[in-house]
């Protein structure tokens, strides 16, 4: 299903964090929310999944206005900070999340095997999460997010703290999800990851400075690197052209 963000704005304590953002993500694509830390990417994701309400504007998944309780089973969300129970094992965490999604026992056992293999945690399934490294927790959070095979997957900084080899494998898995019809929204401040995506929304100081296909965005640069677009936005902002 298509995701439409229309004129969305959000403030906290009278400070505007998201400024009048509008864009559409077509069904079955990977869209990157790219920007430096503190640019508003996490807030934008929270608005898109309906975790917080916008001050202005709307978010729709096809014709369904968010938030809508019927969409909860169709959305997978991996937060930036691991939402795991440290006194449970990896397997225990997945069983808990499987219960939230009402996955029957037989299907859950099979699905746990699949997602643990995807994130390379099969041999650690019985280990308590409090004994996991930061990277292992990140991988388990990803496993929990995809456990119920969501139609739309939101991933907030999913590859932070993950070694390059596993990062490559995880991106390959994202592409497999996409080919099976899953729409994926990935936030990152790692500029090179933009080339893994179909489209990119460049967020700077809470504003959308560019949105389009990755090749088209890179064609707007002289050096073929997306950082140039952020540098241009920074110079314009300091010159007063962008508020």
Digit-coded pLDDT (tens) for 40-74: 999 999 999 999 999 999 999 999 999 998 898 89
Are residues 177 and 184 in contact, defined by beta-carbon separation less than 8 angstroms?
A: yes
Average pLDDT value for the chain? 91
- Three-state DSSP at 203 gives strand
Percentage above 90 pLDDT, the chain: 69
Grouping H, G, I as helix, E, B as strand and the rest as coil, residue 183 is: strand
Q: Is the pLDDT of residue 75 over 70?
A: yes
Can you identify the CATH homologous superfamily of domain 3-238? P-loop containing nucleotide triphosphate hydrolases (3.40.50.300)
Judged against a pLDDT cut of 90, whether residue 78 lies above it is answered with yes
Is 60 exceeded by the pLDDT of residue 240?
no
Q: Per-residue confidence at 239, pLDDT binned at 50, 70, 90?
A: low
115: its two tokens: 């997602």
**What pLDDT is attached to residue 117?**
92
C-alpha 10, offset from chain centre: 19
Instruction: Identify the CA nearest to 186 among candidates 172, 176, 168, 199.
Output: 199
Q: Which of 182, 173, 155, 160 is nearest to 79 (CA)?
A: 155
Q: Please give the DSSP secondary-structure letter assigned to residue 194.
A: G
> What pLDDT is attached to residue 223?
86
Q: Please compute the mean of the pLDDT values over residues 157-182 and round it to a whole number.
A: 86
Residue 100, pLDDT > 50, answer yes
Q: Per-residue pLDDT tens for 21-40?
A: 999 999 999 999 999 888 99
The pLDDT, as a whole number, for residue 72 is 85
Report the alpha-carbon distance of residue 210 to residue 236 in Å, rounded: 14
**pLDDT at position 86 over 70:** yes
Residue 141 has pLDDT above 60, yes or no: yes
């Amino acid at each position: 299903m298509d995701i439409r963000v229309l004129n969305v704005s959000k403030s906290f304590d009278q400070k505007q964090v998201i400024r009048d953002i509008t864009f559409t993500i077509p069904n079955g694509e990977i869209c990157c929310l790219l920007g430096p830390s503190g640019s508003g990417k996490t807030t934008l994701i929270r608005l898109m999944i309906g975790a917080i309400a916008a001050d202005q504007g709307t978010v729709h998944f096809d014709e369904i206005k968010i938030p809508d309780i019927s969409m909860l089973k169709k959305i997978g969300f991996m937060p930036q900070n691991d939402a795991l129970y440290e006194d449970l094992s990896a397997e225990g965490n997945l069983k808990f999340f499987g219960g939230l999604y009402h996955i029957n026992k037989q299907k859950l056992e099979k699905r746990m095997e699949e997602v643990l293999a995807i994130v390379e945690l099969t041999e650690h399934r019985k280990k308590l999460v409090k004994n996991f490294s930061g990277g292992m927790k990140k991988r388990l959070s990803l496993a929990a997010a995809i456990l119920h095979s969501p139609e739309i997957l939101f991933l907030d900084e999913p590859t932070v703290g993950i070694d390059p080899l596993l990062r490559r494998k995880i991106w390959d898995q994202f592409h497999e999800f996409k080919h099976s019809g899953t729409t994926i929204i990935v936030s990152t401040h790692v500029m090179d990851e933009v080339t893994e995506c179909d489209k990119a929304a460049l967020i700077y100081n809470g504003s959308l400075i560019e949105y389009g296909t990755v090749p088209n965005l890179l064609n707007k640069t002289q050096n073929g690197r997306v950082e140039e677009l952020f540098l241009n936005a920074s110079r314009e902002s300091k010159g007063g052209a962008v508020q």
